[in-house]
């Protein structure tokens, strides 16, 4: 399928999921809501997300009047509609008449009707019915002036369905991938435990002891979800070719390869629900959230959309602590700082019943505007209006972290000497933190990235499943003078999860100039340290016994049995340099290593002074201006020394060249002309 045209918003959006279909019996609510939306400075609503049963109450019987009314109201009140296809949740009549649309569990039991996001993604009936309703929506609203973009389905997920249709589709998918059953057996190493298959039809995705099978099952589910998305969105592309399309992603741990969706959506959008105020401080939560924002910005190298966030609490966590004063504005603008052009919420009006009746909402059951939450939302709307010149601006990064979904699946499903706390994502986020703390912008790419030449440094932790193409891309990059940091647990398996003959780091041996003998698993009774630049650092979790070949050893482990074994090496490969870090290291080591490397590569830092703990800066650039988002994730006020800078606060145009005060959970947005 052809890739879709990218789309950039002309102005910041501020709004929410508006589930008006829940309020059809309360006509006064519609009128009141539109008054309140204007008061809250909203200019967009995402509508129709789970409204299939209201749009098609019986098979083939459609009722669009309420949606007509809603879209007309939006338009007449100057708001835009992000119109959803309603297929994220199925109507009861559909499950009852066509049980095949419900998923089948591992015991062969068909799930009863209920919940949401749980249709069978292969079912021909579900596909057919989705196309019908989506086509009707597109035909009816193609010229409606409120229609801004399509929001297809909702938060696709990777849940299992073991129905006959899915199994057959999986077997066909495998046939296409491997060609012959012999190739498949070889790729999955099925001689082990007598798991050899002799026919495609014998293959079922139940056997957790065949890692290649499990990995392919995850890939299949991801591909099949993409295929479902492309199928259900076909009428939208045909009938409204100029209307942008998005699907709202979640945190990247749902086992979908979101990178494969990126070429087929006009803009990336995602739903962000950090767990604020749960830890001693919010620093790590802020770092992790920033990493996710950067991941989604990097997917299309253009601004993304914050499609959902909670204006207050969620109601699906063990505990969810209401946002402290300042946090709503800070977390909303954090998304903007990292490249979002929207701030949107779930949901506009709190439901009276149902699963999310006590989830945070802009208008809560008390139905008043003097609430902390409503006033906080209103303020964010005002702030976005004041910052409107920033919409559409870009982010420039000289640093990239490689974080790859297939690699994560492989790390998690392969049985190692350590099977807990492998923490691939966490390791990537910890490297990311080094840059967050200094206010240096970072891109996140995956192993399908073909060109890294624009970066001064590439950090690729734990490249367990090392695809040959990324090895090639890295070689090209390093040859020309690039700097790469990679770590323990790299180059273990190929694309099908088979260990490389000759051991780890597989094809990376050439780049790293080392080979790996085995791994010490560390815990409180088996500890390890290493000395680097005369300082002692602790290793945790993994410490590999490596041997340097062409690499120079720049640090050694201290404790038997790894005493005097290399812990960090540097290999000069043509014009570039490759660092290999053989163990999981502390944040301090990551910082110090980068500092040393940075003396040579000099990463651009728009605020080169030290930042206080918990404070960060992110920049966006547009039309000759650089915008600085200075964020304080501390519960106490702090200050930044701005001597030597000539920056102006965006909304007041006041010159800031002295102390910059930051409130608790405070944010200031400044700008200057770029040289």
Task: Considering only residues 220 through 259, tell me which ones interact with ligand GAL, judged by CB under 6 A.
Answer: none
Nearer to ligand GAL among residue 311 and residue 507 (C-beta): 311
308 binding ligand GAL? (CB under 6 A): yes
Nearer to ligand GAL among residue 310 and residue 571 (C-beta): 310
Minimum distance between the CB of residue 380 and ligand GAL, rounded to whole angstroms? 18
Going along 133-254, which residue ranges are E strands?
147-151, 245-246, 248-249
Spatial contact of 310 and 353, defined as CB atoms under 8 Å apart? no
Which one, of 86, 127, 122, 124, lies nearest residue 104 by Cα? 122
Piece of the chain touching ligand GAL by CB under 6 A; list 75-83, 229-237, 307-315, 539-547: 307-315
Minimum distance between the CB of residue 256 and ligand GAL, rounded to whole angstroms? 14
C-alpha angle 657/659/660, rounded to 5°?
95
155 is an active site residue: yes
158 binding ligand GAL? (CB under 6 A): no
154 binding ligand GAL? (CB under 6 A): yes
Nearer to ligand GAL among residue 116 and residue 591 (C-beta): 116
Q: Which residue is nearest to ligand GAL (CB)?
A: 346
State both tokens at 88.
């994220």
Count of residues of this chain found to bind ligand GAL when the rule CB under 6 A is applied: 10
Find how far residue 167's CA is from the centre of its chain: 29
State both tokens at 613.
């703990």
Residues 55 and 140: their CA atoms lie apart, in Å, by 12
C-alpha angle 79/85/88, rounded to 5°?
120
544 binding ligand GAL? (CB under 6 A): no
Residues 45 and 56: their CA atoms lie apart, in Å, by 21
314 binding ligand GAL? (CB under 6 A): yes
State both tokens at 277.
């105020």
Nearer to ligand GAL among residue 346 and residue 627 (C-beta): 346
Piece of the chain touching ligand GAL by CB under 6 A; list 60-68, 159-167, 308-316, 649-657: 308-316
Going along 232-387, which residue ranges are E strands?
245-246, 248-249, 269-271, 304-308, 340-345
427 is an active site residue: no
* 569-599: burial string, b at 16+ Cβ within 10 Å, e else: bbbebeebbbbbbbbbbeeebbbbbbeebbe
Catalytic residue from among 21, 100, 155, 255: 155
Give me the phi and psi of 349, to 5 degrees please.
Answer: -115, 130
Select the residue interacting with ligand GAL from 188, 346, 532, 633 (CB under 6 A). Answer: 346
Task: Write each residue from 555 to 584 as x if it is in contact with ligand GAL (CB under 6 A), else as -, in one continuous string.
Answer: ------------------------------
Spatial contact of 47 and 81, defined as CB atoms under 8 Å apart? yes
Nearer to ligand GAL among residue 345 and residue 492 (C-beta): 345
Nearer to ligand GAL among residue 29 and residue 254 (C-beta): 254
Task: Considering only residues 352 through 381, tell me which ones interact with ligand GAL, judged by CB under 6 A.
Answer: 356, 359
Select the residue interacting with ligand GAL from 21, 56, 155, 544 (CB under 6 A). Answer: 155
Minimum distance between the CB of residue 157 and ligand GAL, rounded to whole angstroms? 10
Task: Considering only residues 427 through 466, tell me which ones interact with ligand GAL, judged by CB under 6 A.
Answer: none
Minimum distance between the CB of residue 155 and ligand GAL, rounded to whole angstroms? 5
Minimum distance between the CB of residue 356 and ligand GAL, rounded to whole angstroms? 6
515 binding ligand GAL? (CB under 6 A): no
* 143 CB burial (10 A radius; 0-12, 13-18, 19+): exposed
331 binding ligand GAL? (CB under 6 A): no
Catalytic residue from among 21, 56, 308, 408: 308
Nearer to ligand GAL among residue 149 and residue 166 (C-beta): 149
**In Å, what is the CA distance from 617 to each residue of 157, 389, 437?**
33, 19, 8
Task: Write each residue from 258 to 277 as x if it is in contact with ligand GAL (CB under 6 A), else as -, in one continuous string.
Answer: -------------x-x----
> Helices 424-436 and 283-300: crossing angle, nearest 10°?
100
Q: Sheet harboring 647-649: ordered strands across? A: 615-622, 625-632, 667-673, 647-649, 655-656
Residues 558 and 548: their CA atoms lie apart, in Å, by 17
* 665 CB burial (10 A radius; 0-12, 13-18, 19+): buried
21 binding ligand GAL? (CB under 6 A): no
Nearer to ligand GAL among residue 356 and residue 592 (C-beta): 356
So which residues are the catalytic ones? Answer: 155, 308
- Residues making contact with ligand GAL (CB under 6 A): 154-155, 271, 273, 308, 310, 314, 346, 356, 359
């Amino acid at each position: 399928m052809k890739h879709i045209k990218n789309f950039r918003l002309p102005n910041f959006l501020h709004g929410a999921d508006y589930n008006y279909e829940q309020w059809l019996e309360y006509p006064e609510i519609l009128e009141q809501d539109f008054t309140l939306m204007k008061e809250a400075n909203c200019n967009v609503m995402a509508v129709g997300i789970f409204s299939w049963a209201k749009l098609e109450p019986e098979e083939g019987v459609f009722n669009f009047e309420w949606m007509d009314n809603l879209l007309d109201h939006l338009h007449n009140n100057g708001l835009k509609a992000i119109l959803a296809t309603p297929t994220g949740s199925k109507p009861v009549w559909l499950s009852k008449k066509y049980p095949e649309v419900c998923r089948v569990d591992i015991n062969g039991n068909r799930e009863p009707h209920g919940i949401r996001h749980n249709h069978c993604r292969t079912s021909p009936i579900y596909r057919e019915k989705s196309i019908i309703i989506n086509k009707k929506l597109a035909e009816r609203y193609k010229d409606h002036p409120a229609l801004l973009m399509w929001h297809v389905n909702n938060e696709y997920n990777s849940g299992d369905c073991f129905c006959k249709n899915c199994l057959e589709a999986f077997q066909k998918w495998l046939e296409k991938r491997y060609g012959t059953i012999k190739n498949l057996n070889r790729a999955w190493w099925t001689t082990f435990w007598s798991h050899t298959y002799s026919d495609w039809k014998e293959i079922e995705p139940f056997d957790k002891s065949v890692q290649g099978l499990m990995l392919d099952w995850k890939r299949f589910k991801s591909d099949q979800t993409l295929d479902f998305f492309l199928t259900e969105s076909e009428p939208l592309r045909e009938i409204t070719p100029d209307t942008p399309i998005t699907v709202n992603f979640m945190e990247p741990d749902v086992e979908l390869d979101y990178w494969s969706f990126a070429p087929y959506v006009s803009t990336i959008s995602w739903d962000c629900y950090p767990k604020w105020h749960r830890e001693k401080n919010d620093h790590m939560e802020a770092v992790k959230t920033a990493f996710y924002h950067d991941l989604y910005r990097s997917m299309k190298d253009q601004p993304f959309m914050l499609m959902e966030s909670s204006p207050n609490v969620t109601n699906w966590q063990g505990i969810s602590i209401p946002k402290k004063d300042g946090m709503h504005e800070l977390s909303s603008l954090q998304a903007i700082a990292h490249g979002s052009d929207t701030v949107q919420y779930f949901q506009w009006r709190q439901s009276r019943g149902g699963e999310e009746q006590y989830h945070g909402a802009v208008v809560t059951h008390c139905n008043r505007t003097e609430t902390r939450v409503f006033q906080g939302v209103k303020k964010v709307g005002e702030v976005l209006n004041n910052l409107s010149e920033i919409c559409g601006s870009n982010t420039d990064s000289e640093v990239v972290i490689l974080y790859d979904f297939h690699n994560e699946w492989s790390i998690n499903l392969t049985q190692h000497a350590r099977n807990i706390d492998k923490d691939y994502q966490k390791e990537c986020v910890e490297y990311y933190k080094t840059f967050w703390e200094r206010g240096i912008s970072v891109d996140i790419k995956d192993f399908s990235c073909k060109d890294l030449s624009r970066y001064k440094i590439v950090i690729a932790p734990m490249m367990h499943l090392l695809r040959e193409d990324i090895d090639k891309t890295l070689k090209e990059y390093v040859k020309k003078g690039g700097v790469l940091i990679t770590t323990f647990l790299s180059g273990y398996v190929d694309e099908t999860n088979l260990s490389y003959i000759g051991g780890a780091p597989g094809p990376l041996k050439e780049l790293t100039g080392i080979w790996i003998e085995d791994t010490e698993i560390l815990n409180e009774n088996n500890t390890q340290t290493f000395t680097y630049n005369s300082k002692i650092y602790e290793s945790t979790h993994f410490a590999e016994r490596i041997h340097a070949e062409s690499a120079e050893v720049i640090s050694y482990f201290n404790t038997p049995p790894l005493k005097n074994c290399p812990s960090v090496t540097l290999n000069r490969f043509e014009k570039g340099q490759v660092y290999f870090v053989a163990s999981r290291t502390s944040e301090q080591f990551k910082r110090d290593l980068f500092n040393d490397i940075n003396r040579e590569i000099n990463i651009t830092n728009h605020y080169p002074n030290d930042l206080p703990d918990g404070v960060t800066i992110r920049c966006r650039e547009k039309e000759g201006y650089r915008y600085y988002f200075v964020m304080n994730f501390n519960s106490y006020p702090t200050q930044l020394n701005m001597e030597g800078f000539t920056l102006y606060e965006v909304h007041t145009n006041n010159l800031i060249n002295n102390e910059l005060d930051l409130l608790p959970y405070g944010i200031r947005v400044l700008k200057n002309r770029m040289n």
